[in-house]
Amino acid sequence: MAQQWNLEQLRLFVAVAEQRSFSAVARVQRKAQSAVSNAIALLEADLGVTLFERSSGRQPRLTEAGTALLEDARELLRQCERLDGRALALLRGQEAQLRVAQDEAMPYQPVIDSLDELAQQFPMLEVQLASGAQGDVARKLVERRADLGLLFHHERMPQALERRALGRVEMVTVCAVDHPLARLGRVNRQQLARHRQLLIAPQESGYPGGEPISPQIWRADSFYAMAELLMRGLGWAWLPRHVVQYPTYHAQMVELSCEWTPPALVVELVWRRDEPLGPAAQWLAERFAVHLRAIG
């Protein structure tokens, strides 16, 4: 049988599956509810399967077939966004401006070295660099206030974004030089649990090291804020090694030998799926990956 379904029907299928309501989707899409229902019915007829269980007075529920096809539909829509974005990039050619947003705890030297080389390679390019705590980078990309993001991998990444791993940053267990743990050198979980723990926030961010060991914890949304608290002796923490080595902190922190340390932070390049990277952004990404490997 020849394919009859279209992308608009797939979009409505995904929207109804996520919102579990024909009427809610109709309101958002500014369509009559009957138009949404009919579009889904036509899609079911073309595919030869029933996608939703419909009962009077109840929310539509995915059937077994609907559940099986939902992720395929999402991926097909993502591919369409990529196609549109790549066509737009070809039409635009080289960027006139590149807005880069980075996690404030990103390793400083690889970023600066990469931007230095970017200025030489693309002398007419205008660059805007913004830094922020976790969550800010992804938000700027989603709101189209940035073209390219550098951040640490976490699980709650918005669906509209693509990401690519560039390298890793080692995590270490540290405390202030005058903290009681500093005298021990090597510590175990029981010893750590007796003292306040400083953690990156929020807990549901998905960052490595988000689960507490100590019953007493403080949280901050910045590794540098955590470092400032740590230097006051307010607790111990897991911090990226490059933060610990920052000149302001280096002589005031002690790295502890510990039986368990969180896995390394994965540094990711992030951009909108419907606005793929132009030549300058792609070039900058490659240079940053090279410099990041050098410090690793």
Question: How high is the pLDDT of residue 205?
Answer: 54
* Among the listed residues 266, 263, 209, the one whose alpha carbon sits nearest the alpha carbon of residue 237: 209
Q: What is the pLDDT of residue 67?
A: 92
Total domain count for the chain?
A: 3
**Structure-derived torsion over alpha carbons of residues 84, 90, 93, 94, reported in degrees to the nearest 10:** 70
Burial of 216 (0-12, 13-18, 19+ CB in 10 A): exposed
Domain match, 58 and 103 both? no
Residue 256 and residue 275 in one domain: no
Question: Once rounded to an integer, what is the mean pLDDT over residues 24-36?
Answer: 90
Instruction: Give the containing element (helix H, strand E) for 49.
Output: none
In a domain, 2, yes or no: no
pLDDT reported for residue 80: 87
Query: What is the mean predicted confidence (pLDDT) over 86-108?
Result: 80
Same domain, 256 and 278: no
What pLDDT is stored for residue 116 in this prediction?
Answer: 95
Distance CA 98, CA 22 (A): 40
Range of the domain at 245: 171-262
Give the pTM: 0.65
- In SS3 terms, 98-141 reads as EEEEEECCCCHHHHHHHHHHHHHHCCCCEEEEEEECCCHHHHHH
The residue ranking higher by pLDDT, 212 or 82, is 212
Residue from 187, 221, 217 nearest 207 by CA: 221
| Same structural domain, 70 and 86 | yes
> Is residue 154 over pLDDT 90?
no
Asked if residue 237 is part of any domain, the answer here is yes
Residues 130 and 159 in one domain: yes
pLDDT of residue 79: 85
Asked which of 90, 125, 143 is the last residue of a domain, the reply is 90
HSE, side-chain direction, 13 A CA sphere, residue 93: 2
Provide the pLDDT for residue 100: 94
Q: How confident is the model at residue 191 (pLDDT cuts 50, 70, 90)?
A: very high
Higher local confidence (pLDDT), 166 or 57: 166
Residue 92 has pLDDT above 90, yes or no: no
Q: Which domain CATH number covers 52?
A: 1.10.10.10
Helix, strand, or coil (residue 2): coil
pLDDT on residue 97: 87
Give percent of the chain above pLDDT 70: 91
* Nearest-angstrom CA–CA distance, 110 and 242: 11
pLDDT digits (tens, 9 = 90+) for 233-271: 999 999 999 899 888 888 899 999 988 888 888 899 999
Whole-number average pLDDT of the chain:
87
Provide mean pLDDT across the span 13-18: 92
Please state, in angstroms and as integers, the Cα–Cα distance from residue 21 to each residue in 68, 158, 241, 294, following that order. Answer: 19, 22, 48, 51
Domain containing residue 290: CATH number: 3.40.190.10
Region 125-138 average pLDDT? 86
The DSSP H or E segment spanning 27 is helix 22-29
Residues 175 and 258 in one domain: yes
Strands 186-187 and 253-258: parallel
pLDDT in tens, 276-289: 788 899 899 889 98
- Does 104 or 296 have the greater pLDDT score? 104
* Phi, psi torsion values for 24, nearest 5 degrees: -65, -45
Residues in a beta bridge with 265: 169
Residues 175 and 253 in one domain: yes
Q: What pLDDT sits at residue 55?
A: 76
Tell me: the pLDDT tens digits for 48-74?
899 998 876 678 889 999 999 999 999
